[in-house]
């Protein structure tokens, strides 16, 4: 078993005792950091940055040089799988990701290639191997993927969407077609995440960014059941250690119990739910990750510390099972100093909760 100097993030996910609440931030390697912007400029564009293992490693490590974080997260994108399936990913300036060949019919779904994680997606595995080596056991490395529903929204809509009309039309007018797509995507996510574990990822996270646009019944049918399928197909043990899995559905607070029942180790919370309520609802079944509003990082340092104190108090004096994070990714125009105030506050204020 490779030694980890700081394993409190993994311990908290498995509800084991820790000396303080571990903390990391979604999108911690990213555009709010000047050093990231410099590396991104060097790479030329976003996908070139993802595909260069040394540069992807560099941006993964940048926040760890600045802050006392308890985990590193692979620098990549959720759309690597649909891209590798042959949909032709490209980025329009100011418009976000787009696909040249979105899914419109059954023939499109049947044509999709099942990407080989060490073939079309080898650049991701190379990044995992490089980061894991360069971390030198300082903190664990988180691997991740988008959820099948979230990936399918981009694949059918052809890019980002506000109303999700195309995918919902498919869900309600041709549900069999959508299930065919979701099943195929779920299988490729299982292969992809297991390959990340084999390459060195020590924990996994599934981002269901758009699950919250569904009704409760449709969420279970089109999103949750496929995440449950993935959880069941994952390699949960590697290198003599458990590989914990966190599921995060944005705006999914009303379905906490159902998410906790999938077999995952932890549930990510966005900021629209009170952590004390979430804990009361799931009890000791799973660990909880979250859940400060990312926009709180615009506030004064005093206000940020106050918010951290409130969330810690909400989770309470049960000294285990909480990973502190934002309720979604850090905004790109946040002052890095404010992110530092947030992380330092968690490190300092959480210790009395773990006596």
pLDDT of 253 higher than 80: yes
CB 193 within 8 A of CB 145: yes
289 annotated as belonging to a binding site for a ligand: no
261 labelled binding-site residue: no
Residue 286 domain-assigned (yes or no) = yes
Residue given tokens 């290198």 in the structure block = 239
User: Which CATH number do you get for residue 16?
Assistant: 3.20.20.210
Whether 104 maps to a domain, the answer reads yes
pLDDT category, 93, cuts 50, 70, 90? confident
Burial class of residue 194 (count of CB atoms within 10 Å of its CB; 0-12, 13-18, 19+): buried
Statement: residue 2 has pLDDT above 70? no
pLDDT digits (tens, 9 = 90+) for 218-228: 999 999 999 99
The annotation status of 31 as a binding-site residue, yes or no, is yes
Q: Report how far apart, in Å, the C-alpha atoms of 164 and of each of 45, 89, 161 are.
A: 27, 19, 6
- Taking alpha carbons only, the member of 165, 176, 196 closest to residue 80 is 196
What pLDDT score was predicted for residue 21?
A: 97
Q: Are 234 and 204 in contact (CB under 8 A)?
A: yes
305 an active-site residue? no
Peptide bond into 291 cis (omega under 30): yes
In a domain, 148, yes or no: yes
In this prediction, residue 92 carries a pLDDT of 80
Q: Find the helix packing angle between 175-199 and 122-135, rounded to 10°.
A: 40
The set of residues, in sequence order, having a beta carbon less than 8 Å from that of 270 and lying 6+ positions away, is 248, 250, 251, 252, 253, 290, 291, 327, 328
The total number of structural domains in the chain stands at 1
Say if 284 falls within a structural domain. Answer: yes
Domain assignment present for residue 3? The answer is no
Whether residue 2 lies inside any domain: the answer is no
Of the residues 154, 192, 219, 226, which is catalytic? Answer: 154
Portion of the chain with pLDDT greater than 90, in percent = 95
CB-based burial label for 278 (10 Å; 0-12, 13-18, 19+): buried
Which residues, including other chains, have CB under 8 Å from residue 84's CB and lie 6 or more apart? Answer: 113, 115, 120, 121
Q: Is residue 270 part of a domain?
A: yes
Confidence of residue 60 (pLDDT cuts 50, 70, 90): very high
Q: From the candidates 8, 11, 32, 40, give the one annotated as an active-site residue.
A: 40
- Nearest C-alpha neighbor of 28 from the set 58, 69, 83: 69
Whether 77 is catalytic is yes
249 is in an annotated binding site: no
Of 77, 191, 218, 293, the catalytic one is 77
- For residues 266-275, average pLDDT: 98
Q: Does 154 belong to an annotated binding site?
A: yes
> Cα angle vertex 261, ends 259, 267, to 5°?
40
Residue 29 marked in a binding site: yes
Domain limits at 49?
Answer: 8-354
354 annotated as ligand-binding: no
265 given a catalytic annotation: no
Q: Write down the catalytic residue from 31, 101, 129, 241.
A: 31
In the chain, count of helices (H) and strands (E)?
Answer: 16, 11
Active site includes 183? no
The reply to whether 208 belongs to the active site is no
pTM of the predicted structure, to 2 decimals: 0.97
Residue 114 placed within a domain: yes
pLDDT digits (tens, 9 = 90+) for 288-325: 999 999 999 999 999 999 999 999 999 998 768 999 99
Mean of per-residue pLDDT scores for the chain: 96
Q: Band of the pLDDT at 1, cuts 50, 70, 90?
A: very low
């Amino acid at each position: 078993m490779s030694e980890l100097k700081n394993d409190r993030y993994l311990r908290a996910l498995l509800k084991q005792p820790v000396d303080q609440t571990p903390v990391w931030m979604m999108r911690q390697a990213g555009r709010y950091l000047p050093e990231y912007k410099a590396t991104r400029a060097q790479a030329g564009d976003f996908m070139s940055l993802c595909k260069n293992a040394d540069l992807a490693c560099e941006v993964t490590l940048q926040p760890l040089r600045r802050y006392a974080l308890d985990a590193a997260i692979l620098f990549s994108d959720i759309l690597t799988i649909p891209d590798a399936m042959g949909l032709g990913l490209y980025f329009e300036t100011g418009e976000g990701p787009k696909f040249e060949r979105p899914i419109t019919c059954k023939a499109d779904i049947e044509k999709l290639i099942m990407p080989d994680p060490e073939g079309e997606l080898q650049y991701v595995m190379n990044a995992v191997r490089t980061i894991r080596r360069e971390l030198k056991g300082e903190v664990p490395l988180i691997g991740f993927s988008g959820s099948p529903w979230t990936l399918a929204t981009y694949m059918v809509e052809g890019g980002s969407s506000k109303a999700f009309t195309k995918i919902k039309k498919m869900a309600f007018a041709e549900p069999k077609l959508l299930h065919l797509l979701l099943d195929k995507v779920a299988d490729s996510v299982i292969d992809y995440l297991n390959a990340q574990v084999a390459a060195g990822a020590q924990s996994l996270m599934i981002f269901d960014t758009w699950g919250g646009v569904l009704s409760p019944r449709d969420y279970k049918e089109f999103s949750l059941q496929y995440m449950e399928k993935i959880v069941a197909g994952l390699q949960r043990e590697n290198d003599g250690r458990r590989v914990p899995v966190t599921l995060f559905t944005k705006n999914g607070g009303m379905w906490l119990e159902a998410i906790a029942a999938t077999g995952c180790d932890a549930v990510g919370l966005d900021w629209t739910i009170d952590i004390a309520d979430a804990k009361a609802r799931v009890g000791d079944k799973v660990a909880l990750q979250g859940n400060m509003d990312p926009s709180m990082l615009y506030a004064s340092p005093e206000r940020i510390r106050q918010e951290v104190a409130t969330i810690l108090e909400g989770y309470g004096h049960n000294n285990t099972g909480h990973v502190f994070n934002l309720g979604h990714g850090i905004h790109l125009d946040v002052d890095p100093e404010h992110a530092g105030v947030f992380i330092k506050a968690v490190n300092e204020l959480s210790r009395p909760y773990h006596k």
